[in-house]
Structure 1
Amino acid sequence: MSALDPDRDEARERARRRLEARRARMRGQDRSPRPNGALAGASALARAAAAAVGRLGPKGLAAAGGALIVALVLIVALVVRGCSGSPESVSAPAPEGEQPVEPTVEPEPEPADEAALAVILGDELAASLVQASEAGGDAAWIAAHPEAFAVDGEAVQRKLLKLAAEEPLAVPFVRSFPDRYPADAAEPCDAPAQGEVPRLYQWDVRWGSTVYSSTAFALTGCCPTSLSMVYQGLTGKGDLSPYDMGQRAREGGYETEYDGTDQTFLVAEAPSLGLSCEQIAVDADALRTALEAGKVVICNVGPGDFTEGGHFFVITGLDDEGRLAINDPYSAERSDRAWDVDQVISQTMGLYAYSAA
């Protein structure tokens, strides 16, 4: 049959292919590009026009000329529209002068020097600092560069790394230490809130890298920082920062070498600050009496919960359960806790009760 009627066989083959393509599209398996609709329509019109000419023959060609011209105009219009008018076929030009943005590649963080940290801090503190470093940022840099903190010797190096391991709020200061120490001057304090004893830390980046008692104020400035808190809380003034109090101790001869501040500074300096200071008995009842009278107390403690050597901090009052509220200039963690009176008294070497003069 195909040998006798090739046109019919070809038509059937085209129909069969169209049927298979339609079935494939219905199954979602058609991956071949589809023909432009405008071009397909134009092609169909062309075929129709050619067939009409064939049927008319040479004699009817002149009469059909007008029809052919109209058909050609339609073909051109459809082709132009299909090629230039479809939003799918035209890509928007890139803005003039714009360069493609290269993706940012973050550098790989340096690994923590776990072996060196363990030697300096011991296994427990080293593990704490390494764990903090896993979040990246300042802690990661500190853990990777323990040698950067040995500028004042191994004792200072250990204290700085220990501070970073134990006090998350101090991490930015510790990270800045190699770049800032020794600083020539400090930045001022903000004005305190009315009626509140502010929390100030000796390792604040504003003054922690200045030099006091032969090394960083961050490590030796607990006494002047405590007195600055008391002064600001009782007077409402912010003009004397911890650094300023340290300068007063130095000028008065109360600064010691590698041992902070002589405790007599606390009593002797009070009148010049507009404060009244009384050294009270190291006794739980005496401490409660002073706090209930509205006084603010500086506590000097020896080795124990607060220090390995000696330390000063401020006792600001009693909570509803009779426990002590404190501002520890070296520890935000300890400042956030309430403390049993007897527990603190058992470590105390001196108590200094202040009020406004």
Structure 2
Amino acid sequence: MEKNSDSHSDGKHSKLSFSLNFSFSTLRCFSSIFSKCVKKFDTSPFLCPGAISVSCTARSPPPNDLHFFSSCSFYRFSLWRLLCVNSSNMVKVGIIGGSGLEDPNILLNPTAISIDTPYGQPSDHLIQGTINGVECVLLARHGRKHDIMPGNVNYRANLWALYSLGVDVIIASTACGSLKEEVAPGHLLFPDSVFDRTNSRKATFFDGTFSGAPGVSHIQAHPTYNEKLRQVLISTAEKCKLVHHRTGFGVCIEGPRFSTKAESMVFKSWGASLVNMTMMPECILAKELGIPYATTALVTDYDCWKDEDQVTAASVMKVFAANVEKAKTLFIEAVAEIGKIDWSAEILQTKTAARQSIMISPDVEVEFLKVPKT
């Protein structure tokens, strides 16, 4: 342990800065040290392997916003995620928002966290806080200035950043055009599948660029979204009396341009309900990490199959702005419902399926797909 001489007293608390260097396996041994002050030390699967150089600040008494961050750029964790009382019934929710849904005001005590990942920088700072007493991490998919086009979003870094902050489940929003008359602008739709038409995005963690993701993953893409989480969103929409559609699939195009009419007519003939630019590969990357994931489609316009409605960025954003309040209401209520549910079995199933999809010896441990021993 390396201790820095930075102690002082301001009449309210004393401050001590220090650094620790340890391996993941050593971390497990620390539980006995903390057993007198906490009931459980969370050695969750969200801790990453290898040596970690940790910098933290200790205060007495510890305030609610104290965080335990690694000075190593890959790994930063909430202290209360590591050292929390009765943590077995807690869930941490990741929220990936499109335009307008990056508002940190939906969180209580929001804290911005800058983080690097083995796959580069995420779209923006992650905002950590609580909603209805449930720990949440908010991430703006396109950045808070909406200056990252769909094909340039670093989806891998976004998902890895949420994972490294201990997120258990993820709910997302995405703006979509409608391919069906009955799916009108202003409606919500909860997709149950997606048709991928993208062609230039890095769509897997298992591409050999990071040793922590060994082998090749042939992840099952069906079901695309976690059904238990999807049903929570649907029941919440019903409770909030929001006009919505329970099923339907979207076609994810590369963008940033909108569809030609020929493309739109083909997509419609396939039976798709939506056309969109960000549904892929986000959902697949969440599956590779073993994190339950579901999205909410915010219908902004009819795609150009409908002659009388010309799609423009201005018209899309006008309707989307109106949808934002609906989505905020939905997510705030949904997070409260998610917090009432025990997700341990769902997470176990999701991580087990992800591990079994990797073409590598079963003796090889994939750290981020390990589950806590009960």
Give the number of the structure with larger relative contact order, counting CA–CA contacts within 8 Å between residues 6 or more apart.
Answer: 2
- Shorter-chain TM-score: what band? under 0.3
TM-score of the aligned structures, taking structure 1 as reference length = 0.26
What is the TM-score of this pair, normalised by structure 2? 0.25
Higher helix share goes to which structure? 1
Larger Rg over CA atoms: 1
